Amino acid sequence: MTMRTPEELSNLIKGLIEEYTPEVKMVDFGIVFQVGDGIARIYGLDRVMSGELLEFEDGTLGIALNLEANNVGAVLLGDGLKITEGSRVRCTGKIAEIPVGEGYLGRVVDSLARPVDGKGAIAPNETRAIESPAPGIIARRSVYEPLATGLVAVDAMIPIGRGQRELIIGDRQTGKTAIAVDTILNQKGKGVVCVYVAIGQKASSVAQVLNTLKERGALDYTIIVMANANEPSTLQYLAPYTGATLAEYFMYTGRATLTIYDDLSKQAQAYREMSLLLRRPPGREAFPGDVFYLHSRLLERAAKLSNALGEGSMTALPVVETQEGDVSAYIPTNVISITDGQIFLSADLFNSGIRPAINVGISVSRVGSAAQPKAMKKVAGSLKLSLAQFAELEAFSQFSSDLDQATQNQLARGSRLREILKQAQNSPLSVEDQVASIYAGTNGFLDSLKVDQVRPFLSGLRNYLAQNTAQYGEIVRKTLDFTPEAEGLLKTAIQEYLEDFKSQNVSA
């Protein structure tokens, strides 16, 4: 070790003093003067921003929402049981942001993207602000690619495209979540990243969805964001934005994503609770005036990006619960006006055994056939009209006993077409299987069967096609078109299997 001379030491110290530049760092502190019900009122934060993250003495985070003349109203991102009057609060200078990245696939996280599935920490790629601006019109292109749900009723008559926002609306226990989960299951092998956001649900319900996805190998491409019913309303309010932010990371890397918000009625209720505790003035149904903005700024983030931005997409399937089928209530009308169509589920249809209980008459897709493969367009064109005419005739025929033969035939055809739309839960169908079912129905091949034989016949037909006429499926999958060759193969297969099916049932 070399000894330094006093001159060398003094020169070294002089150099360090000359290089030193004083740095002044100002930190704003405030004092809590009221806390309770997940809300804290703070005195002294003069330079705080709206939506800024605040850090309390015990490490709890909060978000500044109300900037009033004398105090700041903040919502707590936790129980805040250790926060007392007189506790110090620090401004962080940051807007709420979460880590995002590839590591989130297959994981279950909370509203702040912290893992809650016991599988350890997640290594993020980057961080993104929870509230980010929606893409503008230059950044978008029109929706043109189909996002198949695997449900005949939806893909044939209410088609959904990548980048679309399609509302799933209906009373409780009518199968809204089942449609959302089926759609996730149908994305297997299609390169679509799915985000399922559970807002204010029972933990047992979320566990059920998790098990379904795990059993069918769908969890590998899915992220579950959950804010259970027992969690603070702040976390329930933030959960959908966290889900959208996680999906946005994948969308801006050029991938297709699907986000399901289940459900936005509960998010609105959580936001109403927060707003009333913050003493914001209530409006219609006691919701605050900006409840429309709550949902519009979330759903506008769903988009199909332009070629320059990598052609990624975010498709949103928000779920809204109605009371007694009342779609004219405040939250349902708000979300209907923001979205590009709705799938309406009816309790009456559900109870009469039509499942999924989709009311085809009042359900609509405002993107329409732009998001439908050619094969589906060709066979499903007459299906919606036939079903509408059947519903009208069915209502009329209840009052009349003697019907002419043409009407009887139309009623018989309609009842068989309705059987095609019935589908078991967690069993989405490929495009070629859906096309085969609809073609068999609309071309009269099912007319000679009894109504209760239609579903067993279609199930057997799918197996028959897979085993004996694999070429038909290959043509439809590759071209997404119902070519004359594919039609010829399908027609022959249906006729052959129909004879087999009838002979089996006669012998039975």
Render pLDDT for 218-239 as a digit per residue (tens, 0 to 9).
999 999 999 999 999 999 999 9
Average pLDDT, the chain: 92
Q: Where do we find the tokens 């804010």?
A: 227
Please tell me whether residue 208 adopts helix, strand or coil conformation: helix
Rounded to 5°, angle at Cα 393 from 388 and 398: 135
Q: What is the mean pLDDT of residues 123-144?
A: 94
CA distance 269 to 291: 10
Q: What is the mean pLDDT of residues 139-152?
A: 95
Q: What is the mean pLDDT of residues 279-308?
A: 95
Q: Where do we find the tokens 């919502």?
A: 75
Position 388 scores a pLDDT of 83
Q: Prior bond to 356 cis, omega within 30?
A: yes
Cβ–Cβ < 8 Å for 314, 139: no
| CA 367 remoteness from chain centre | 17
Class of domain 29-95: mainly beta
Strand pairing class (256-262; 167-170): unpaired
Position 305 scores a pLDDT of 97
CA distance 375 to 35: 61
**pLDDT over 80 at 186, yes or no:** yes
pLDDT tens sequence across 16-45: 887 777 766 666 789 999 998 899 999 998
Given the residues 280, 366, 413, 455, select the one marked as catalytic: 366
Residue numbering of the annotated binding site for ATP? 170-177
E strand or H helix at 56, and its extent? strand 52-56
In this prediction, residue 402 has a pLDDT band, given cuts at 50, 70 and 90, of confident
Provide the residue type at 99 as one letter. Answer: P
Phi, psi of 492, deg, nearest 5: -60, -45
Q: What is the mean pLDDT of residues 150-158?
A: 95
Residues in Cβ contact with 14 at an 8 Å cutoff, skipping those fewer than 6 apart: none
How is domain 99-372 classified at the CATH fold level?
A: Rossmann fold (3.40.50)
Q: Where do we find the tokens 């927060």?
A: 274
Residue numbering of the annotated binding site? 170-177
Q: What is the mean pLDDT of residues 155-180?
A: 96
E strand or H helix at 81, and its extent? none
**pLDDT over 60 at 214, yes or no:** yes
User: Where along the chain do its domains lie?
Assistant: 29-95, 99-372, 378-507
CATH classification code of 378-507: 1.20.150.20
Token pair for 398: 């209840």
Position 477 scores a pLDDT of 92
The residue among 298 and 3 whose pLDDT is bigger is 298
Position 26 scores a pLDDT of 67
Q: Is 272 assigned a catalytic role?
A: no
Position 391 scores a pLDDT of 83
Position 24 scores a pLDDT of 62
B/e letters for 61-87, b = 16+ CB within 10 Å, e = fewer, are bbbbbbbeeebbbbbbbbebeebeeeb
Sign of CA dihedral 440, 444, 448, 452: positive
The half-sphere exposure of 489 on its side-chain side, counting CA atoms within 13 A, is 20
CA distance 45 to 275: 20
Taking only Cα atoms into account, the Rg of the chain, rounded to an integer number of angstroms, comes to: 29
In this prediction, residue 254 has a pLDDT band, given cuts at 50, 70 and 90, of very high
pLDDT tens sequence across 58-115: 999 999 999 998 999 999 998 888 899 999 999 998 898 999 999 999 999 999 999 9
Position 84 scores a pLDDT of 92
Position 200 scores a pLDDT of 96
pTM, whole model, 2 decimals?
0.91
pLDDT above 70 as % of the chain: 97
In this prediction, residue 14 has a pLDDT band, given cuts at 50, 70 and 90, of confident
Count CB neighbours of 122 within 10 A: 18
| DSSP label of 418 | H
In this prediction, residue 266 has a pLDDT band, given cuts at 50, 70 and 90, of very high
In this prediction, residue 400 has a pLDDT band, given cuts at 50, 70 and 90, of low
Please tell me whether residue 122 adopts helix, strand or coil conformation: coil
CA distance 173 to 346: 10
From 147-161, 221-235, 403-417, the region with the lowest mean pLDDT = 403-417
